[in-house]
């Protein structure tokens, strides 16, 4: 055995095993699929350098959005800096194609007009009338404005507010660069209000336009809070008010403008749904049930706003990927149906979608003890393959070429500081990939 025996046999077999390990036929199917996917990504990816538009990207986007009135800009988290770079890069281009209406997650029917005023003027809510030295204006609007762009206290709140200020400053610069006769960028809601009660004042404002119309007295009487009523009694009263506005069974709304009638419907719906959401999530402890109901309420706010746009108005919708997905049933944490599904169903053939995904880095996590949290590379996520093709690029989906079928199976992808599963080629038309992210800046 010392001459030509076992040691010699082993020395011959090991190189052969290594050779077979390198051949495609001996590879694991998943590894081969990843390699084919990577080759496809390397061929199809449109590189982006220094956050600048380039002719290849412009050419792709021009064809992709042709005939589309709505563009989704999805994000895997709200709390990393680079997603604003992606959004502003794309918004600047979309503005040249006539897109003027920006829908933002986190803004409801009461708060969106305040932030639109901030976009147009750089100022917070307009000063309100005084009564005996006491401000009788909309204190909710002032508090909501501060929570959005002036929050103080925790590292998380201050960085989120600073990020929003920079974003609105950039949007204001876009507005200033537009020709004087061109429509301005406008802000719209992609959510319910983030604190209950704001739309009380919004409804009062619409009704005040028709102070001489006695037919509206019934609505005026239903609106004010009743001393001592519980939250559930308040919800019941407001649901009756919403029904009266939606159905107009007694013809009380016949004398008001169509646009104001739509405003009343929007405000009444947002008022009810915001209170129900917080009551269900906090008092009943049924967060999941509250989130499911919130999703459809968010969609109604979006559709109310879409219905109010001028003819041929074009919209950009910014929110979490899971809200702007096409198939909520495919994603465990998504609500089914999602806003994305409902918007596409109501506006067939009008939507183009881009999701932003990231591989690793740092972001803010409102639920972590230390708000600045690391997101490590995860070899099981699809981004681990995307990162091998480059640091920053847009990847068109739906080419039908070999290798892309990797995305036709459920794949882990980035979701805040965790992971989520989705069949990506069913969810979006393109991926904007960022290899490394950083937390929101001060």
- pLDDT of 103 strictly over 80: yes
Task: Report the alpha-carbon distance of residue 254 to residue 261 in Å, rounded.
Answer: 9
Query: What average pLDDT score do residues 143-158 get?
Result: 89
In this prediction, residue 365 has a pLDDT band, given cuts at 50, 70 and 90, of confident
Task: Report the alpha-carbon distance of residue 440 to residue 9 in Å, rounded.
Answer: 60
What confidence tens digit (pLDDT) does each residue in 318-343 have? 999 999 999 999 999 999 999 999 99
In this prediction, residue 142 has a pLDDT band, given cuts at 50, 70 and 90, of confident
pLDDT recorded at residue 140: 78
pLDDT recorded at residue 127: 61
Query: What average pLDDT score do residues 48-53 get?
Result: 96
pLDDT recorded at residue 153: 86
Kindly report the three-state secondary structure assignment for every residue of the chain: CCCCCHHHHHHHHHHHHHHHHHCHHHCCHHHHHHHHHHHHHHHHCEECCCCCCCHHHHHHHHHHCCCCCEEEEEECCCCECHHHHHHHHHHHHHHHCCEEEEEECCCCCCHHHHHHHHHHHCCCCCCCCEECCEECCCHHHHHHHHHHHCCCCCHHHHHHHHHHHHHHHHHHHHHHHCCCCCCCCEEEECCCCCCCCHHHHHHHHHHHCCCCCHHHHHHHHHCCCCCCCCHHHHHHHHHHHHHHHHHCCCCCCCCCCHHHHHHHHHHHHHHHHHHHHHHHHHHCCCHHHHHHHHHHHHHHHHHHHHHHCCCCCEEEEEEECCCCCCCHHHCCCCCCCCHHHHHHHHCCCCEEEEEEEEEEEEEECCCCCCCEEEECCCCCECHHHHHHHCCEEEEECCCCCCCHHHHHCCEEEEECCEEEEECHHHCCCEEEEEEEECECCC
In this prediction, residue 19 has a pLDDT band, given cuts at 50, 70 and 90, of very low
pLDDT recorded at residue 144: 84
- pLDDT of 15 strictly over 80: no
- pLDDT of 8 strictly over 60: no
Higher-pLDDT residue of 196, 126 = 196
- pLDDT of 130 strictly over 90: no
**pTM, entire model:** 0.91
pLDDT recorded at residue 27: 54
Percent of the chain with pLDDT over 70: 91
- pLDDT of 45 strictly over 70: yes
- pLDDT of 428 strictly over 60: yes
Query: What average pLDDT score do residues 10-29 get?
Result: 48
Query: What average pLDDT score do residues 370-379 get?
Result: 93
């Amino acid at each position: 055995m010392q001459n030509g025996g076992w040691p010699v046999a082993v020395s011959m077999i090991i190189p052969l095993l290594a050779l077979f390990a390198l051949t495609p036929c001996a590879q694991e199917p998943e590894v081969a699929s990843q390699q084919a996917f990577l080759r496809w990504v390397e061929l199809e990816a449109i590189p982006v350098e220094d956050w600048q538009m380039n002719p290849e990207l412009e050419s792709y986007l021009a064809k992709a959005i042709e005939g589309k009135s709505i563009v989704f800009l999805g994000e895997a988290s709200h709390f990393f800096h680079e997603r604003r770079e992606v959004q502003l890069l794309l918004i600047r281009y979309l503005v040249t194609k006539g897109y003027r209406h920006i829908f933002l997650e986190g803004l409801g029917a009461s708060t969106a007009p305040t932030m639109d005023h901030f976009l147009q003027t750089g100022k917070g809510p307009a000063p309100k009338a005084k009564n005996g030295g006491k401000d009788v204006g909309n204190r909710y609007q002032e508090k909501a404005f501060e929570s959005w762009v002036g929050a103080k206290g925790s590292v998380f709140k201050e960085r989120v507010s600073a990020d929003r200020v920079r974003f609105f400053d950039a949007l204001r610069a876009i507005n200033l660069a537009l020709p004087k006769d061109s429509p301005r960028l406008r802000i719209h809601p992609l959510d319910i209000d983030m604190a209950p009660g704001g739309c009380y004042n919004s409804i009062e404002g619409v009704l005040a336009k028709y102070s001489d119309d006695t037919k509206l007295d019934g609505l005026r009487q239903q609106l004010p809070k009743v001393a001592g009523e519980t939250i559930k009694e308040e919800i019941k009263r407001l649901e009756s008010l919403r029904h009266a506005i939606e159905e107009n069974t007694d013809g009380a709304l016949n004398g008001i403008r169509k646009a104001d009638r739509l405003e009343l419907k929007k405000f009444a719906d947002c008022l009810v749904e915001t209170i129900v959401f917080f009551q269900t999530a906090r008092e009943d402890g049924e967060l999941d049930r509250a989130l499911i109901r919130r999703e459809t309420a968010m969609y109604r706010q979006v559709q109310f706003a879409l219905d109010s746009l001028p003819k041929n108005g074009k919209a950009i919708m910014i929110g979490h990927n899971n809200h702007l997905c096409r198939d909520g049933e495919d994603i465990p944490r998504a609500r089914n149906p999602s806003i994305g599904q409902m918007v596409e169903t109501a506006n067939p053939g009008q939507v183009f979608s881009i999701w932003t995904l990231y591989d690793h880095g740092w972001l803010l996590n409102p639920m972590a003890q230390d708000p600045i949290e690391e997101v490590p590379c995860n070899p099981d996520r699809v981004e681990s393959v995307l990162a091998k093709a480059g640091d920053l690029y847009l990847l068109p989906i739906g080419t039908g070429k070999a290798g892309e079928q990797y995305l036709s199976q459920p794949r882990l992808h980035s979701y805040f500081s965790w992971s989520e599963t989705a069949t990506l080629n069913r969810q979006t038309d393109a991926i904007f990939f960022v290899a490394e992210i950083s937390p929101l800046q001060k």
